[in-house]
Amino acid sequence: MPEPDPRPRRARRPGLRPVANEQPSVEDALERVARGDRAAYASLYDRCAGQVYGLVRRVLRDPAQSEEVAQEVLLEVWRSAPRFDRGRGSATSWILTLAHRRAVDRVRSEQASRDREDVVGRRDDATPGFDVVAEEVEVRLEHQQVRSALDSLTDLQREALQLAYYGGHTYREVAELLGAPLGTVKTRLRDGLIRLRDELGVAT
């Protein structure tokens, strides 16, 4: 039996692990990693491997390839930690930017060896399936927030953003897939991100 939670703030489902409050920030962990601290790396791995793997897998779909690329990214986090610049954004954002870039590179390399039209069709389902095996409370909350922020966008903004980010498509491919003019897609990606940024309260 799960223990009753005296705090009435959020429903907790059985099997979910509580989030520890005393964890050092991801930035602090990354800065220790930057000084060659392998123990700090192991704890950073535990904090961010799920995000890296989840994002790479969302873009690549294929589990084996995703595993390979996620490993590359996580090793790169270790190698490049000394180059993290706290002034440019959060550590999580730095790590996920790296992960997204790698995943997209892999998609486009693959694509180069195939018929372009085939491939555009292959990843046409870029709806961020909410069928993920998210076990952490943190992830579920993030998930809900992002979903409701996405719901506040126009259909075109949302579809364009999802195809670009989760689908790994260029905005030209997005325009083709949505049958929308290039200029419109460019603009929707930007104003969609502005809306999302404001909805999520993102600030540097």
Partner 1 sequence: MSQDVHNLAGAYALDALDEVERLLFERHLASCAACRAEVDEFRLTASRLGAAVAVVPPPVMRDRVLTAVDTTRQRPPLTARTVPARRLPRIAAPLAAAAVAAVLTFVAASLLDAEGDEPRPSDVLAEVLAEPEARTLALDTTGEFVGSVVTAPTAQRAVLTLSGLQERPGEVYVIWTEREGELIREGELCAQADGGATTLVLDAADTVSSVAVTREPPGDGTAPAGPIVAQVALQ
Binding to partner 1 (CB under 8 A): which residues in 71-90?
71, 74-76, 78-83, 88-90
Could you give the CA distance from residue 52 to residue 98 in angstroms, rounded to a whole number?
9
List the end-to-end C-alpha distance of the chain, in Å, as a whole number. 42
Q: Which of 5, 62, 101, 152 binds partner 1 (CB under 8 A)?
A: 101
Nearer to partner 1, 121 or 127 (CB): 127
d(CA 105, CA 115): 17
Cβ closest to partner 1, residue 92 vs residue 180: 92
Residues 147-186 that bind partner 1 (CB under 8 A): 147, 149, 161, 164-166, 168-172, 174, 183, 186
String of DSSP letters for 144-159: HHHHHHHHTS-HHHHH
Minimum CB distance to partner 1 smaller for 6 or for 25: 25
Q: Applying CB under 8 A, does 119 fall inside the site for partner 1?
A: no
Name residue, tokens 């790169």. Answer: 76
Coil vs helix vs strand at 98: helix
* CA atoms of 160 and 174, how far apart (whole Å): 6
According to CB under 8 A, which one of 97, 127, 152, 154 is a site residue for partner 1? 97
Binding partner 1 (rule: CB under 8 A), the pick from 137, 146, 156, 180 is: 146
